[in-house]
Amino acid sequence: MRRVIAIAALSVMAAASAAQAETWKPYGTPNGKGLQWAIDTDYSYRDVQSGRVVVMQAISKPGAEPRLGPSGPGKPDGVGNVVGLDCKGKTVIMIGSYAPTKPLELSANWRTGNANPPKSAEDRALLAAACAGADQLASK
């Protein structure tokens, strides 16, 4: 019986760690300072209420010492945000952001906020990268 309980506990822990996995996919090109943006493909989903694609993005600097992301909230090198993307309308809306000194806080009323057209090359690259596989995303 103890063995069954131990196996069950290990299975639950393995499933929990897999659910919090971070699979970062870089997009766009590094800027002049060597900074690179990436999206967490494990976090991405289609929001049922708004129809928007919701993604977590983080910034990194490959080869930096000390290491700089991409990492999720709560990590010592995690700097990023969560955005909602209207793939058809080509707009972006900020949902929340995080940094090592600031936990991720998601806006409760982001669905009613003002979405904006992409303001930068990074925003346009984000829309292209996240919307390319949007029809494959789970809906939540």
28 has a pLDDT exceeding 60: yes
Mean pLDDT computed over every residue of the chain: 87
Peptide bond into 118 cis (omega under 30): no
The span from the CA of 7 to the CA of 138, in Å, is 29
What's the pLDDT at 19?
46
What's the pLDDT at 65?
84
CA angle 126, 128, 131 (to 5 degrees): 95
Q: What is the pLDDT of residues 34-87, one digit of tens each?
A: 899 999 999 999 999 999 999 999 999 988 888 899 999 999 999 999 999 999
Look at 8-17, 27-36, 45-54, 84-93 and tell me which has the smallest mean pLDDT.
8-17
Domain boundaries, the chain: 22-136
